[in-house]
Each structure stands twice: as C-alpha cells, then as structure tokens.
Structure 1
Amino acid sequence: MGFKVAVVGATGNVGREMLDILAERRFPADEVVALASSRSIGTDVSYGDKTLVCKSLENYDFSGTDICLMSAGGTISKEYSPKIGRQGCVVIDNSSAWRMDPDVPLIVPEVNADAVRGFAKKNIIANPNCSTAQLVVALKPLHDAATIKRVVVATYQSVSGAGKEAMDELFAQTRAIFVSDSVETKKFPKRIAFNLIPQIDVFMEDGTTKEEWKMMAETKKILDPKIKLTATCVRVPVFISHAEAVNVEFEKPITADEARDILREAPGVLVIDKHEPGGYITPHEAAGEDATFVSRIREDATVENGLSFWCVADNLRKGAALNAVQIAELLVNRKLITPKRKAA
C-alpha cells in the first residue's frame, strides 16, 4: 500500500513544483491531493500525466493522509500545521514558521538526515530557507574535512524566491522598458528590471535583513552552532535559481584541489570548475536541475586556511520543493512512517 500525500498551496510556484517532483521521482503515493485557499478551489494543476482539481484546505480532513507538503506561507502554516500534525499526518513545511522551533527538526537530507527523527514531537518538519539549503549542501562535506570557523556569503537571488507576483513584475517591468512605457513597482521597494536590490525581507534592528539572519541562524541549527556566518542578500533580475559567492575560513588546512575532490564525491553536489571562460555554472543553466552546482573553487590568501567558491542552485527545486520531497522520501526509506490503513 502506498501513501496518501496532500500538497497545500498547490497553485503556487513551489506547490506546482512539488507536484512535478513527486511524479518525476515516482514517490510511492497511492493518492495525491491538491489543496489551496478558497479562491483557488476548482483550479486544475498537473501531477505527472494526471490533472488534479484543487480542494479547500479549510474543509479538508487530514486523518486519512500520511504526509502534507505545506507551501502556503508562514501565517497559514502556523494556523494549520499543528492541527494537521495532531491528526497523525506529518507536515513538511516550506515556510519560516517552524524553522527555529527547538521541537521541530530543520532538515536538508544530504546534511543532517539523522535529525529527522525528532519530527514525532509535533509531527512537523521544517524546510530551510532556499538560500540556506544550497549553501549547507556545499558546506557540509568541507566542514567534515576541515571544520569551518567563519563564512562570508553574498547572495544573488532570483525573483521567483519572492513568488509568482515578483516574477510577473520583472517580466512587466522589462517589457515596459523595451517599449518605453512607465515602470510600475509593486512587489519590490525599487525597480528590479536591469537593477539589483540589496534587500530581501524586512530590516532588523542591527541593520541586517531577515533573509540574512535566516541564513545565519539556520546554518547554525542545521550544520554547527559554532559556525560564524555573515551574509549580504541581494535580489537580482533573474527568474529562477539563486547564486552565492562564498568565502570560508577553516580551522584546518585545506587546498582548493582537496576541496574540489571532496565536493565531487559529496551527495547533491556537482562540481563544474574549469579555469577558462564559461567553465562555471550560471543561474540560467541551473534552472530545472536538482544539483547544487559549485564552481570557481580557489584558495584565499588573505586568511589562514581560506577558500572561496561560487554556488548555484534552482531555488524552486533544491531550495524548496525538491528538498521537501527528499524529506518525505527520508521518512519512507527509514520506515519512520507507514501508510495508514484505509477504512474497509
């Protein structure tokens, strides 16, 4: 008997990607249900070669459902995830609502799979922020080899990380500029077309943004609380995939060649690193791919035991939907959950 899976937020960018990935990876589901807000009831979404009709989250009974992939935002998750968990359904949540809850594991399967066992406390598992997910996939094998002391990262994050409206805004602004129309700004604080915006999420008291704080706090929880991390997060006029320029200081010596060999063997990582024009991966090439790509690996002579590298991944996949499905696969493969028996 297979599992029954519900996808909440099925009409959004990440929700649709979750449905695609469940089908692509042939997740052992006998039934997949698409759920959304009341305004999206009746909307058709694709699941493999099938079409699902969205049902209402508000009226759905989760008592017969095994796994809920939640991608409807923090407010919805805070309201519904505990209720769903109490009905015996495991929630894998893509929002920031539960990431720092000490009773909720924050999981990237290639990095801290063993921590998933803690899900039973609330029946909730948190998916990390998209920029954090790809970063820790690249950092984990290097940390195991040489112990990371400090990370300095600058991100170049695509507009899809801010949702469909943000993608529509980039498209509309780009078109308006080409035809000499007025440019309207709605989703972002400044024009995003042909521009960069050094702000993602709200500002905090110390001048960092919430996105930058998330990268720091989540990396510590997932990887190691001793790691020091500072980030500058920038929104760029790219539709899909986040890129990161990463500088790492280690406790032990590690060469660029050693790091390259380590990363080539690491789960979820694909090294594309030729010292020639085009010998690296860009966001365009990473879109639609599952891997976290690492390029431009080099030693940093300005600090002892320092390395720099370039890291790119599809934020809708590894940064969100793929990671959530991988967590579900982890639960199944480790036999941490079993399908509920259907009533006769």
Structure 2
Amino acid sequence: MGYRVVVAGATGNVGREMLNILAEREFPADEIAVVASARSTGDEIEFGETGRMLKVRNIEHFDPAGWDIALFAIGSEATKIYAPKFAAAGCVVIDNSSLYRMDPDVPLIVPEVNPEAIDGYKRKNIIANPNCSTAQMVVALKPLHDAARIKRVVVATYQSVSGAGKAGMDELFEQSRNIFVGDPAEPQKFTKQIAFNVIPHIDSFLDDGSTKEEWKMVVETKKILGSKIKVIATCVRVPVFVGHSEAINIEFEDEISAKKAQSILREAPGVMLVDKREDGGYVTPVECVGEYATYVSRVREDPTVDNGLALWCVSDNLRKGAALNAVQIAELLGRRHLKKAD
C-alpha cells in the first residue's frame, strides 16, 4: 500500500522536476494529484517519462483530506494560505519556499545531514526544504564537520538563472540572442544585464549590506549544522542556465589535511568527489545537470588560517537544491514515521 501524494506548483520548474524525480525514484505513490493556480487548471503534465498524463487541478478548490504528503513549490505567499490548510487536514507539507525555514516548530531538513530533526514535524505537520545554495553546501560540510568541527565558513556562490524561475532562464536566452544580433539587452527580471555578465545581488538588500539570499545561507546553515558556526556568504547570479557552484573556505577547530578531507568526502552520502588536480579534473555546472549528487572538487589546504580547507562544490539546483531534496524528505518521512508502504 502506497501513499497519496500532492505536487503543488506542478507547472513550474521545480514542480515538474518533483514529478520527474518521484517517477525516477519509483516513490511508492498509489495516487498523485497535481495542483496549481487557476490559470493552469485543466492543463496536462506528464508524470516523469512514464507517458502517464496528469490533469492539473485548481489548488483553491482542492480538498487535501485523505492525502498523505504534499510537495509544495508555490512560493511563500501562496504557501502562507495553503500550507496550514493542508497540514490541518492531516496532509504533511514539505515546503520549498522560505516561509517556514526559520520557524522553530518546523524542521529544516537535508536527509544526508540532519535526518533526526524530522521527528519534530508533528508540531505543525510541515517540513521545510532549505535554500538551494544552503542544501548543497551542508551536504559537503557535514562529514567534514563531524571529523574536525567547523568554526567558520566563507562562501561565494555562482548561482544559475534557473534559481530565479522560468523568467530568469528566458531572460538569459533572450539577452544572449539579442547581443549576438545587435539588439538591445535590457534587463527585466534581473537588476542588470545577465548575459555575458555576473550580478553580485540575489534577493533584496538588508540593513547590514547583505542580501536576503546571503542571510538565508547564514541562518539556515546554523539551524542545520549548529548555531556556533560562523558563516558569511556572497551570492552571485551568473549566466548559467542550471547548476549552482560554490567556492567554500572552511576553518576547523581540529587539524584536518586535504588528503583526509578527500578520503572523508569520497565516502560521504550524497557527495561525489571528483578531484584529479589536472586539466578537466573537476566538475562544472553543465556536467551536474540532471544528476542527484553534490559534486566536490579542488580540495586543498588553506594556509591563511589554522586548520583551513578550500573546496569547490557544484550541484543541480533544481534537483538537490529543491525537488530532489523534497522527495528525499518524503522518503525519510515514510521510513521514520508514516511507514505506510510495503
């Protein structure tokens, strides 16, 4: 006997990816409902590559009673309306928005990193999915933290335009085409031209000069790995369609060599170490698209601090940064709590 699963926001990039991953991983679902806003009602979406078509229902009129799990990819404003309704009806919400991430009564989960935290989900019947950049970073940090205790993290991100949704991807494509033919490349979605450029600004600015995206990485990492870790992030949008990259510098309490770190990462869950120290012996965003792993390369010692390491981290942000992590949370929830499927 399997679960009854709802995918909310099924017509968006992340929602579609959730359906793909549910199919790929053969999630034990007896029934799947796809819901979205009124403008998408009646559309049909394929369930992965199964050939099975699912008709989109209007979330405003959908009754969540009797459904087990809902994967939400509908943004904070809509989540604020619908997540409490689903949760109150007994349907566990796994939310991809930022709305509940810092709520002390809502667990913030990366299954390879803090699976035990999911046990607190019953307080609100809601589980939060971290920010895409946070998710891949903590997968790489956790095994190293267990080995030598992290004191401080300095990270610079290189985030793809898919993190800004379909509009971001369209803008990169259209600007690139316009530049080649000599037409204007005016920004619409982003604050400056994104084609052939980088923009050190993601989300709104805060009073201290950081952006909300940078703040998310700081507070979410602390909630997942431990409040004593010091974190500073610089988040940059780059002209890449899919796949986030991060240059991470880590300071540890205890001594750890690059060789030891490589050995640990080679065996770490969710991590794929590709670190050959030769031309092409590292992973770039285009190579991680469609993959489940968080790839780590360029592991080396940082001589500017005691017990320091530097590394390069790449992952498909639509997968591990969003849809895959949500499905993994659903799998974890089933194993630890729901235990409905055979």
Query: Do both proteins adopt the same fold according to a TM-score greater than 0.5, normalized to the shorter chain?
Result: yes
Which residue of 1 is the match for residue 273 of structure 2?
271
Aligned with residue 286 of structure 1, among 256, 275, 288:
288
User: Quick check: 1:195 aligned with 2:197?
Assistant: yes
Which residue of 2 is the match for residue 235 of structure 1?
237
Aligned with residue 107 of structure 1, among 102, 106, 109:
109
Which residue of 1 is the match for residue 127 of structure 2?
125
Number of residue-to-residue matches in the alignment: 339
Which residue of 2 is the match for residue 320 of structure 1?
322
Which residue of 1 is the match for residue 9 of structure 2?
9
Q: CA RMSD in A?
A: 0.9
Alignment of 1:175-190 (within 5 A): 175-190=177-192
Which residue of 2 is the match for residue 37 of structure 1?
37
Alpha-carbon offset, residue 183 of structure 1 = 1.2
Q: Does the residue aligned with 2:322 lie in a helix, a strand or coil?
A: helix
Which residue of 1 is the match for residue 170 of structure 2?
168
Alpha-carbon offset, residue 250 of structure 1 = 0.2
Which residue of 2 is the match for residue 47 of structure 1?
47
Check the 8 A contact 2:6/2:69 in 1, yes or no: yes
Percent of pairs with identical residues: 66
Check the 8 A contact 2:283/2:295 in 1, yes or no: yes
Check the 8 A contact 2:46/2:54 in 1, yes or no: yes
Alpha-carbon offset, residue 251 of structure 1 = 0.3
User: Quick check: 1:18 aligned with 2:22?
Assistant: no
Aligned with residue 300 of structure 1, among 297, 302, 305:
302
Alpha-carbon offset, residue 185 of structure 1 = 1.2
**2: CA distance, partners of 1:204 / 1:79:** 26
TM-score normalised by structure 2 residue count:
0.98
Check the 8 A contact 1:3/1:31 in 2, yes or no: yes
Which residue of 2 is the match for residue 249 of structure 1?
251
User: Quick check: 1:226 aligned with 2:228?
Assistant: yes
**1: CA distance, partners of 2:106 / 2:189:** 31
**2: CA distance, partners of 1:2 / 1:276:** 47
Check the 8 A contact 2:334/2:340 in 1, yes or no: no
Residue identity matched to 1:337: L
Alignment deviations for residues 302-331 of structure 1 (CA, whole Å, 9 cap, x no partner):
110000000000000000000000000001
Which residue of 2 is the match for residue 72 of structure 1?
74
Which residue of 2 is the match for residue 337 of structure 1?
338
Check the 8 A contact 1:66/1:339 in 2, yes or no: no
List structure 1 runs of 4+ shifted beyond 2 angstroms.
Answer: none
Alpha-carbon offset, residue 184 of structure 1 = 2.6
Which residue of 2 is the match for residue 86 of structure 1?
88
Q: Does the residue aligned with 1:247 lie in a helix, a strand or coil?
A: strand
Residue identity matched to 2:72: M
**2: CA distance, partners of 1:84 / 1:139:** 33
Which residue of 2 is the match for residue 153 of structure 1?
155
Alpha-carbon offset, residue 118 of structure 1 = 0.4
Check the 8 A contact 2:4/2:29 in 1, yes or no: yes
Alpha-carbon offset, residue 339 of structure 1 = 4.8
